[in-house]
Amino acid sequence: MRVSQINNYNINFGYNKKLNNELKSKLSKFEDKEYAQTLLSLNEFCNSTEDKIRRLEKKSDFKKSSSDFVDMLLQAKEQLAMYVDILFGEEFKYSDREYKHYQDEFYRHGADKENDWRYDMMDRLKYWSKDVIDKNNAGFSEASKSELAQKAGQILSASVQMPKSGLLELYTPSANSPRNFDSVAGMDKVKREFNEGLLQLIKSPDKAVLDYSEYGILPPKTVLLYGPPGCGKTFIAKALSGEAELPLFLLKLSKAGSHYINMTSKNIEAAFDEAIDFSKNSGKPCILFIDEIDSIGFKRDEKISHEDLKQVTTLLQALDKAGDSNVFVIGATNKFKFLDPAVIRRYESKIYVDVPDLEARKALIELNLLAFAKGEKLLADKDAISEIAKLLNGFSNDSICKISNAAARNALRRDRADISIDDYKKAIEETSEIKPDLKEYNVDDLYDKKSIGFK
């Protein structure tokens, strides 16, 4: 079959060639030639990476061999879509058209959303294909768009130079991710700690300098979040990234480990160095988030191996090095007592993230109900919300969200009825969610909680 015959069929091979050519044409006419070239380079990076992924799909170990390439493609394509939509908006509809392209490919490929990178691509593009771009464009003149483009060029240049080890994942929010602190229900004291600390250093450096000159106080650049699981430690870190408007790197500890001598330590060191280099290349600070830091920062004693001892020592040195750079390091753990005291000391601020109090539970219930069309009636009943919040006392944030979803399913089973307080009561009664034993996470016997938390 000749190529001309193939083109008569509505079949796409690889990335969207038609849209790609249109983008090249538009960028060739864009007045800021330097920034246009940056976008063209990023576009070529996306295309070549996608071609690489499609070649790897023919291999039996596709998921393992392609994971790093898929991560790079998703991050780079979302960056490209965001800035193209900001520049050309409704007249071009780049994200909408790309979303449709990958949706068609997804269904043709088998529609397996658990294992198909095309579905993940759709999720990334979905957010930018909505009305957010319209809001971003509101009031933008051509001059201000060009100014934004110039500033974005630095970020895009750094995006293309993604860390090579695969240990760091550049966090990019999906449609359901927190955008900023407004997306976080409750946790007021935790947010206050960040507002008075890290965010002040970023948003109000003059005030930070004044506080230092008058009181000798500098906002912390390293923060340890600890407390029961499921209470929002990772969620608040992602929200912080949006609030601070800074890139967030997630240290993938599962890839840091190695059975080769010294490799785990070298991987940890490499991850920190890559975050520091990223910050230098982009010309702005970044946030490095380490979840379950107890798995690499555990207590040292005579029983641990030489490799484990070196691993903890490497982490301590890396935290010191990051403190001298523009990398803010946030650690999270629900096993505070297992952390090495030297690791704890390296964190300038320690924040206890507790199960939500009554007001936080109310806010979390309301936030969940806002997402349900059938939740409007219950949302307007403040007394019912208060009663539900009292019934949920002791549950974690994550458990409350799961119970809210179960209540919604109960209402659905009642012939698609409005969600009611009885649906919540039934969900609580039948839930498999377990209230955390707070005694297990109490560190009063080791440290004064008032000096490290917000209570």
Determine which helix (DSSP H) or strand (DSSP E) holds 315, and give its type and residue range. helix 306-323
Q: Are residues 349 and 363 both part of a single domain?
A: no
Number of separate domains in the chain: 3
Structure tokens at 422: 């009885």
Residue 309 within any structural domain of the chain: yes
Q: Are residues 195 and 292 both part of a single domain?
A: yes
pLDDT of residue 261: 43
3-state secondary structure of 61: coil
Distance CA 186, CA 226 (A): 17
Backbone φ and ψ for 304, nearest 5 degrees, come out as -80, 155
Q: Are residues 119 and 230 both part of a single domain?
A: no
* Contact criterion met (CB below 8 Å) for 331 and 347: yes
Q: Is the pLDDT of residue 365 over 60?
A: yes
Q: Are residues 222 and 188 both part of a single domain?
A: yes
Q: What is the mean pLDDT of residues 336-354?
A: 90
Residue 154 within any structural domain of the chain: yes
pLDDT of residue 158: 46
* Contact criterion met (CB below 8 Å) for 329 and 361: no
Q: What is the mean pLDDT of residues 212-231?
A: 86
Q: Are residues 196 and 141 both part of a single domain?
A: no
* Contact criterion met (CB below 8 Å) for 23 and 94: yes
Residue 173 within any structural domain of the chain: no
Q: Is the pLDDT of residue 87 over 90?
A: no
Q: Are residues 364 and 324 both part of a single domain?
A: no
pLDDT band, residue 85 (cuts 50/70/90): confident
Q: Are residues 316 and 407 both part of a single domain?
A: no
Q: Are residues 413 and 363 both part of a single domain?
A: yes
Q: What is the mean pLDDT of residues 279-306?
A: 81
Residues spanned by the domain of 117: 3-162
pLDDT of residue 417: 94
pTM of the model: 0.62
Q: What is the pLDDT of residues 261-271, one digit of tens each?
A: 456 788 888 88
Which range among 99-108, 239-248, 294-303, 349-358 shows the weakest confidence by mean pLDDT? 294-303
Out of 128, 162, 196, pick the residue that ends a domain: 162
Backbone φ and ψ for 219, nearest 5 degrees, come out as -60, 140
Identify the residue with better confidence: 217 or 296.
296
Q: Are residues 152 and 11 both part of a single domain?
A: yes
Could you tell me the CA-to-CA distances from 11 to 50, 196, 223, 229, 382 in Å, in that order? 17, 55, 51, 47, 54
Identify the residue with better confidence: 173 or 340.
340
Q: What is the pLDDT of residues 52-75, one digit of tens each?
A: 888 888 777 777 777 778 888 888
Q: Are residues 206 and 301 both part of a single domain?
A: yes
* Contact criterion met (CB below 8 Å) for 377 and 409: no
Q: Are residues 192 and 130 both part of a single domain?
A: no
Q: Are residues 103 and 187 both part of a single domain?
A: no
Q: Is the pLDDT of residue 432 over 50?
A: yes
The enclosing domain of 216 has a CATH number of 3.40.50.300
Extract long-range pairs of 417-423: CB within 8 Å, 24+ residues apart.
417/374, 418/374, 418/375, 418/376, 418/377, 418/378, 419/369, 419/372, 419/374, 419/375, 419/377, 419/378, 420/378, 421/378, 421/381, 421/384, 421/387, 421/388
* Contact criterion met (CB below 8 Å) for 146 and 208: no
Q: Is the pLDDT of residue 145 over 80?
A: no
pLDDT band, residue 399 (cuts 50/70/90): very high
pLDDT of residue 1: 30
pLDDT band, residue 137 (cuts 50/70/90): very low
pLDDT band, residue 12 (cuts 50/70/90): very low
Q: Is the pLDDT of residue 378 over 50?
A: yes
Task: State the residue for tokens 């004693």.
Answer: 301
The enclosing domain of 398 has a CATH number of 1.10.8
